[in-house]
Structure 1
């Protein structure tokens, strides 16, 4: 089987899971956008995924993504998402290629991203990453839920576009309570910022739970690309 055929088969399987989850939740498949996370996979996979119709691709590491996209930028028509933890001094570099930054977790990052986007002459959508780990948890990153309103206000009043919220379910725990909490936070956010409609939640192992709790964007890597190659 060629790599293209392998990716097509895996994509079809994930699409089947998403469609079934949407049907079970009483939602339209059109309400949920799939983002394929290509961290640690080569540019050739990015191009194949674009050929297969994928229009949203995600990266976790600025240096890797910049190198991967250096040759001609992202494929035509592809929206690129940065979804990893981000240092402020890398924010300007990320805005040169990312259309969406899903991992904004502190006010300092808002200013750095805004300056980078303005310097690059690009419109960048920013999501607030929410920390849903219990007290003493492993720390998947994100702002404390109590800090979400102020951080969202900072994004909305900057040159960035406020997209909504992103979160990762706690490691080794039932994702249902975490995603339910995220849905409640998103509803509260939309009361103040109706345009902030994104709920980015759910990955290869828990996408069904995310769909049940209103996720609008799913970030799937392993289920489509396979196990990550060893990082050099």
Structure 2
């Protein structure tokens, strides 16, 4: 597919997703523009990221450092500046690499990872923004911190000079109704905001459940397949 056809395809998908977000905001009694779209571009080339940027997308998400680092470098070499969100599970030994290109890390789930990221982010011109990933159902296999661990992690992030605590991120657990999942997330968010009033960002909702996430206060939705199409995992 040539660039013109791909741009038209992405523009149509972006308009459709934007309409869904606007409609969900209206139904929730929230103002238009109160939810940011993060385009999840994992497995897609830098050329798609550049096309999305040209269509007005400002935030992109990646979940594998070995793919994200060169892609971010290619996009910046083209003279395009975006907000890069790292949304995948992150090993401490990758903290330095991720801190070099990411603007936001959405998957901090332990005090030890917070410490590693804080060390890696030292010397940045601006603190690395951090969201704590929440495990809504407490299943450690899916990543994320259990509710009881949120306080210590939030304190660790907030006390690091290299980091800025911005809020929470979560994925609705398999088998849970999205409204049930995001209602629980909203409860957990209230507790974190009570202790850290600036931590108001809530990254929740994907292609299949963004409406429920917006009903329960999401400020960012992470959209992949509805925007870019079904992924070819062999890419």
- Same fold per superposition (TM over 0.5): yes
Which of 98, 115, 118 is the matching residue for 1:114? 118
Matched-pair contact (CA < 8 Å) for 1:73–1:97: no
Residue in 2 aligned with 1:105?
A: 109
Q: What are the within-5 Å matches in structure 2 for residues 39-78 of structure 1?
A: 39-71=42-74, 73=76, 76-78=80-82
Are positions 1:38 and 2:41 aligned together? yes
Which of 141, 163, 180 is the matching residue for 2:183? 180
Residue in 1 aligned with 2:5?
A: 2
Residue in 2 aligned with 1:197?
A: 200
What is the CA RMSD across the aligned residues, in angstroms?
Answer: 1.6
> In the aligned structure 2, how far is the partner of 1:179 from the partner of 1:11?
24
Residue in 1 aligned with 2:95?
A: 91
Helix, strand or coil for the counterpart of 2:166? strand
1:159-206, Cα deviation, whole Å (9 max, x unpaired): 200010000001232111110011111111111111001011000000
Which of 140, 145, 148 is the matching residue for 2:147? 145
> In the aligned structure 1, how far is the partner of 2:72 from the partner of 2:217?
32
Residue in 2 aligned with 1:165?
A: 168
Q: How many residues align?
A: 230
Q: Which runs of 5 or more residues in structure 2 are unaligned?
A: none
Q: What are the within-5 Å matches in structure 2 for residues 204-223 of structure 1?
A: 204-223=207-226
Helix, strand or coil for the counterpart of 1:133? coil
Are positions 1:225 and 2:228 aligned together? yes
> In the aligned structure 1, how far is the partner of 2:92 from the partner of 2:49?
26
Question: Deviation of residue 138 (structure 1)?
Answer: 8.2
> In the aligned structure 2, how far is the partner of 1:95 from the partner of 1:174?
34
> In the aligned structure 2, how far is the partner of 1:73 from the partner of 1:202?
28
Question: Deviation of residue 230 (structure 1)?
Answer: 2.3
Matched-pair contact (CA < 8 Å) for 2:28–2:215: yes
Matched-pair contact (CA < 8 Å) for 1:133–1:140: no
**TM-score under structure 2 normalisation?**
0.93
**TM-score under structure 1 normalisation?**
0.94
